[in-house]
Amino acid sequence: MLHSKTKWQSPAADPVQSGELVRRLSVSPLVASLLVARGMNDPEKAHSFIEGAMEEDHDPFLLKGMKEAVPRIQKAIEEEEHILVYGDYDADGVSSTSLMIHLLRHLGASFDIYIPHRSNEGYGLHNHALDWALQQGVSLVITVDTGISACSQIAYANDLGMDVIVTDHHEPPDVLPSAYALINPKLPGCPYPFKGLAGVGVAYKLAQALLDGQVPEEWLEIAAIGTVADLMPLLDENRAIVRRGLASMRRSKYPGIRALLEVSAVRVERVDAVNVAFGLAPRINASGRLDHAGRAVSLLTTEDPAEAERLAEELDLLNKERQMVVDRIVSEAIARLEDRLKDGKLPSIIVLAGEGWNVGVVGIVASKVLERYYRPVIILDINPETGNCKGSARSIPGLDIYAALSSCADMMDHFGGHPAAAGMSLHRDKLDEFAAALEEFASSVLTEEDFVPVFTADGEYTLPDLSLRAAEELELLAPFGMANPLPKFIVRGAVVKETRTMGQGNRHLKLVLQQEGVMVEAVAFGKGELAELLPPGTGVDVLAELSINEWNGSRKAQLMLQDLAVPQPQLFDFRGARDAAGRLGRLLDVLLPQTTGRQELAAAVIRKDRLHERELPEWQGTSFWVYDQYKGISPLDDLPGEGIAGKQISLLYLLDMPESLQQLDALLQAFPDVQNIALLHSLREERDRLLIPTRDHFKTLYKWLAAIAAEPLSEQEALLRLTRQSRMSLRMLKMMLDVFEELGFIRRERGQVSFVTRPAARDLASSSRYTHLSELAEMERYFSEGSTAELQEWMEARRLGVS
C-alpha cells in the first residue's frame, strides 16, 4: 500500500449542465465538465471564454492616477528631462523594467534604470539610489512593480526636487506616499474594473495611455512573462495579455526571448504559459537571486542576437547554479531538522537558520522543505560577521504566516508579507526566542488535519476518457495558470503494465497504465525511487495532468503524474538483497509519512541468533520481534498491551523467513492490519533447500537405507553415503530420517542408525514429522522460489485462515 502525498478532492460537475455544453458547443464531455466546474456553466459564457470574447481590454485612464501621470511624462519627454525607471529584481520587476525601456525608447526619452541588488540592498526604493539619480540629472522617477509603500523614500525624493510616479500592483498600506501620481488598481477608490494586474500589467496600461492604445503587439510578450511569473490570475485582462503575448512569442522578433526559449529547450512555435512559468521565469529570476537582475533586463531589451545568445547562456548557467545552491541548502536544512527530531517530534512551524544560506534562494528552500514536511517553514541566512539574519517564510492554508509573525513583531527588525509567504530580518541572538514564540502561536492554531495537504482535482475519469482528442481539446481552455490551472484528473483502478526509470541517475519514473483495454504512458518526474515498488500487475490510483507526447512525427496522449497511490496492501520482494538497513531507510522515506515517530510504524522480524544487528544506527526506533519456538513470534522490546502493538505497524520487514508454519501464522496474527510487508531474508543455497516430499522420495531412501544400514552405522557416515547417491540436501535427508524414526523404520542410538527389517506397516501421512516436513518445504518453496504474486496470494490465504 502506497499512500498518496496529498488528500484528493474533486468536485462533481452537474451532468445536465455539462450535457448542454456538449450539445451546444460541440465539445467533448471532458471539456464540458471542466467548463462547468470552473463556473462556465452557461453556454454563452463558456463560448465567450473559449473564444476569448470575455477578455476585455479596459480603458487605461480608468486607473486612478493615470490622468496625472501621462501629461507629466509627456512633459518630461518634450522638455528632455532625464527619467529614472526604478524596478524590482524578480521576473515581474524585470519584465516591468524591460517594458518601460521599450516604451521610453519608442518615445525618444532620455532615461536610466535602477534595480536594487537583492542581497546587498533588498527590496524597494532606497534613498542612496535617489542620491545617485540626482547626480545623473534625474528629475522624474517612475517606479514599476514597487513603490506603493515607500512613504519616506518618496518624501526624500520630493525634498531632492524629483517627482515620483508610482506604478505598482501590491496591496497599498493605510498611509500612502505623497507621490506625483499613484497608479495601482488596488488603490482605494480606483474604478479600474480588474484588480489582478501584475506589475508589468500596470506598466503596459501606462504604455497604452501614452500611445493612445497603439502599443506594439510584441510588447505583450514581455507583459505575458511577468504576468505568468508573478502568479497572477489568468482571468479577464490577464488572460488577454498572456494569450496574445504567447501568440506573438511563437513568432517572436525579440532575440532575447528566442535565445531564452532555446536554452530552456522550448520550441518557439509551441511555447505556452507552462513553458514560461517553468522555463523562462526561473532563468530570469536566477539573475536577481545570484547576481544582478540587470542582466535579465539586458536580455529582454537587446536587439543584438549575439548578445542575446550570450546573455541567455549566462542566465541558464546561473539557473543551474541556483538549483545546486538550493539543493545544497535543502540538504543541510533537512539534515539539521532530522538531527533535532531524534529527541522530539516535528514542530508545528519549522524555523531553520544557517550561515552561507544564500538569501536570494531561501524562499525556494522554504518551499521545498514545506513540500517535504507540509509544515509552515522559515529559512534564514545568518551573516557571520554581523549576526543579522534575513529569511523567507512559506506557509500552509491552516496558518496565516503574516499573523504569526505579527505576534512576535518585537523580536524582528523588519517583516512583511501575506498569509502564504513573508520575509523578515532579525539578529541571531533572537532566533531561539523567535522560534519558540512562533511555535507557541502555531500550535495554538494548527490541528492534525491542517498537516494533511488537500489537492482539488477537476474530476474522476477513466483512461479511455483521457484520449489524444481530449488532450488537444484542452487547448480551448488555455492559457493555464493561476485561477485557471492546468486540469488535473483522478484515475482510480488502473493497472501497471510496464515500469522503468529514466533520466540521469534514474531519477524519473515511466509507467504504462492500462484500464478498460486502453493503455497510456505516464511520467512522474523525481519519483524514480518508486519503480521497484510498482511491479507490473500493481493496481494504482493516480492524480495526473493530460499532455501530448510528440516523437518522430507520432502524437499520443501522455499523463504527467502529480501523485499516486496503491490502495491495496503490497508485498515488496527484496529477497536476497544486501544492505537490509539501507532498504529500510529508502522504504521509510517512500512509504511512511514525513512525520516524527515514523519508525515506530515499522517492525522487523529476525532470528534470535542475529539480534546483534539491531544495534546498528539504521535500526534505531524500529521495533524488533523474534521467532519463538513455543509462541511462534514474540516482541523483543516492551510494547503496549496485548494485540495493540502489532496493529500499529504499517511496514513489516522479514529479515529472516519463518522456521515453521506455526511461526508464519503467529506472525500474520500478530500484524493483522499491516499495510506492507518487505521480504529481506536471505535465500538458502540450492543444495540446502527442502523438496516437497513425495512417496517416491521415501521409497528410494528406504532402499538405500536397507542396503547400507542393515547393521548399525554411524549416522554421520550414513548421511555422507546418502548424499553421494542422492540429489537431496543433507538437511532434507536428516528430516526424512526423522520421519522414518517416528514410523519405526529405523533406530537411532548413541549416534548410530540401523535399519529395522520388519517394521509395522505405517502410512507416511500418519507421521507428524512428515506433515511438518511437507508444510515446511511448501513454505520454503514459496519464500525461496515463488513469484511475488504467488507468495502474496499464498500468505493472504494463510492470513484469512488464522484470522
For 555-569, what is the HEC assignment?
A: EEEEEEEEEEEECCC
Grid coordinates in use for 521?
Answer: 504512458
Single-letter residue type at 118? R
Q: Are 74 and 128 in contact (CB under 8 A)?
A: no
Q: Residues 627, 725: one domain?
A: no
Which domain-ending residue is among 647, 682, 717?
682
**Model confidence over 250-278: pLDDT tens digits?**
999 999 999 999 999 999 999 999 999 99
Is there a domain that residue 330 lies in? no
Q: Where are the alpha helices (DSSP H) in 160-230?
A: 199-210, 219-229
| H/E element, 372 | helix 362-373
Which position has the higher pLDDT, 540 or 12?
Answer: 540
Whether 162 and 275 map to the same domain: the answer is yes
Beta carbons within 8 Å of 436's beta carbon, 6+ residues apart: none
Query: Residue 351: CB partners within 8 Å, gap ≥ 6?
Result: 377, 378, 380, 431, 434, 435, 438, 439
The span from the CA of 792 to the CA of 691, in Å, is 21
Of the three residues 317, 339, 365, the one that is the final residue of a domain is 317
Lowest-confidence region among 426-440, 560-574, 628-642: 628-642
Confidence of residue 621 (pLDDT cuts 50, 70, 90): low
Task: State residue 644's pLDDT score.
Answer: 44
* Same domain flag for 661 and 736: no
Cell readout for 209 is 495611455
Residue 615 has pLDDT above 70, yes or no: no
Alpha carbon separation from 803 to 625, 643, 669, 800 (Å, rounded) = 20, 13, 6, 5
For residue 392, being part of any structural domain is answered with: yes
Strand partners, 602: 651
Name every residue whose Cβ is closer than 8 Å to that of residue 749 and which is 6 or more positions away in sequence.
712
The answer to whether position 576 is within a domain reads: yes
What CATH code is carried by the domain that includes residue 420? Answer: 3.10.310.30
- Assign 599 a pLDDT band (cuts: 50, 70, 90): very low
Domain match, 544 and 486 both = yes
Of 145, 170, 168, 165, which Cα lies nearest the Cα of 95?
145
51 to 25, 46, 363, 476, 477: CA distances (angstroms) = 11, 9, 38, 8, 9
pLDDT, position 89: 93
Pairing between β-strand 377-382 and β-strand 388-394 as defined by DSSP bridges: antiparallel
Identify the helix (H) or strand (E) that includes residue 330. Answer: helix 305-341
Is 452's pLDDT higher than 70? Answer: yes
CA-nearest of 565, 626, 627, 609 to 590 is 565
C-alpha cell at 11: 468536485
Alpha-carbon span 583 to 529, nearest angstrom: 11
- Asked if 360 and 252 sit in the same domain, the reply is no
What integer pLDDT is reported at residue 643 of this predicted model?
44
Grid coordinates representing 336? 539539521
What's the whole-number average pLDDT of the chain? 90
Same domain assignment for residues 722 and 616: no
Q: Which residues 6+ apart lie within 8 Å of 558 measured at CB? A: 520, 521, 522, 523, 546, 547, 548, 549
Nearest CA to 557 out of 545, 565, 541 is that of: 545
For residue 623, the cross-strand partners are: 603
Distance in angstroms (rounded) separating the CA atoms of residues 49 and 701 = 85
Query: CA-based angle 453:457:460, to the nearest 5?
Result: 125
Pair 451, 374: CB distance under 8 Å: yes
Give, in degrees to the nearest 5, the angle at Cα 131 between 125 and 135: 130
Under 8 Å between Cβ of 266 and 252: no
Domain count, the chain: 5
On whether both 92 and 200 belong to a single domain, the answer is yes
pLDDT at 638 over 70: no
Length of the chain counted residue by residue:
803
Q: Which of 543, 465, 471, 564 is nearest to 9 (CA)?
A: 543
Q: Which residues does 188 contact at the CB level (< 8 Å), separation at least 6?
A: 172
Do residues 77 and 209 both lie within one domain? Answer: yes
Q: Are 405 and 418 in contact, with CB atoms under 8 Å apart?
A: no
Question: Is the domain of 295 the same as that of 177?
Answer: yes
DSSP H helices, 429-528, are 431-445, 468-473
Percent of the chain with pLDDT strictly greater than 70: 95
Q: What percent of the chain has pLDDT over 90?
A: 67
Q: Determine, yes or no, domain membership for 231.
A: yes
Same domain, 289 and 162: yes
CB atoms within 10 A of CB 130: 23
**Residue 182 main-chain phi, psi, to 5 deg:** -115, 120
Q: Where are the beta strands (DSSP E) in 504-553?
A: 508-515, 518-524, 539-551
**pLDDT, mean of residues 325-342:** 91
CA angle (729, 730, 734) in 5-degree steps:
120
Per-residue pLDDT, 597: 40
What is the DSSP secondary structure assignment for residue 664, as one 8-state letter?
H
- pLDDT above 50 for 640: no
Residue 70 has pLDDT above 90, yes or no: yes
Which amino acid, one-letter code, is at 501?
Answer: T
Least confident of 128-137, 211-220, 559-568, 618-627: 618-627
User: What whole-number distance in Å separates Cα of residue 761 and Cα of residue 743?
Assistant: 9
Quick check: is 2 in a domain? no
Q: What pLDDT, on the 0 to 100 scale, is given for residue 641?
A: 42
How would you list the strands of the sheet with 632-635, edge to edge? 570-573, 676-679, 651-654, 602-606, 623-628, 632-635
Residue 752, pLDDT above cutoff 70: yes
Residue 474 has pLDDT above 50, yes or no: yes
Q: Residue 635 and residue 509: Cα distance in Å, rounded? A: 38
Q: For the chain, first and last CA: distance in Å? A: 20
Query: d(Cα 324, Cα 327) in Å, to the nearest integer?
Result: 5
What is the pLDDT, as a whole number, of residue 511? 97
CA neighbours closer than 13 Å in the CB half-sphere of residue 763: 3
What amino acid is encoded at 390 in this protein?
K
Strand pairing report for 138-144 and 163-167: parallel
Q: Answer yes or no: is 216 within a domain.
A: yes
Select from 683, 736, 737, 494 the least CA-distant residue to 575: 683
Residue that is last in its domain, among 648, 682, 716: 682
Task: List, for residues 411-443, the tens digit of each pLDDT value.
Answer: 999 888 788 888 899 999 999 999 999 999 999
Distances (CA, A) of 392 to 332, 375, 417: 16, 14, 9
**In which domain, by residue range, is 178 found?**
60-317
Residue 647: the pLDDT is 56
The pLDDT of 322-344, averaged and rounded, is: 89
CATH number at residue 708: 1.10.10
Cα 749 to its chain centre, rounded Å, is 68
For 695, the enclosing helix (H) or strand (E) is helix 695-708
Give the span between the Cα atoms of 759 and 176, in whole angstroms.
Answer: 110
Picking from 335, 58, 15, the residue whose alpha carbon sits closest to that of residue 209 is 58
Q: Is residue 374 part of a domain?
A: yes
608/612 Cα distance (integer angstroms): 9
Q: 3-state SS of the chain: helix, strand, coil percent to 5?
A: 45, 20, 35
For residue 66, give the C-alpha cell: 493615470
pTM of the model: 0.80
Lookup: cell for 103: 516604451
Cell of 643: 494485540
Please indicate, yes or no, if residue 632 is contained in any of the structural domains.
yes
pLDDT band for position 698 (cuts 50, 70, 90): very high
Q: How far is CA 439 from CA 296, 401, 430, 786, in A?
A: 39, 12, 14, 52
Q: CATH no. for residue 535?
A: 2.40.50.460
* In 399-530, alpha helices (H): 401-406, 431-445, 468-473
Kindly state whether residues 707 and 661 are assigned to the same domain.
no
User: Cis link prior to 479 (omega < 30° from 0)?
Assistant: yes
Asked whether residue 609 falls in the same domain as residue 716, the answer is no
For residue 141, what is the enclosing H or E element? strand 138-144
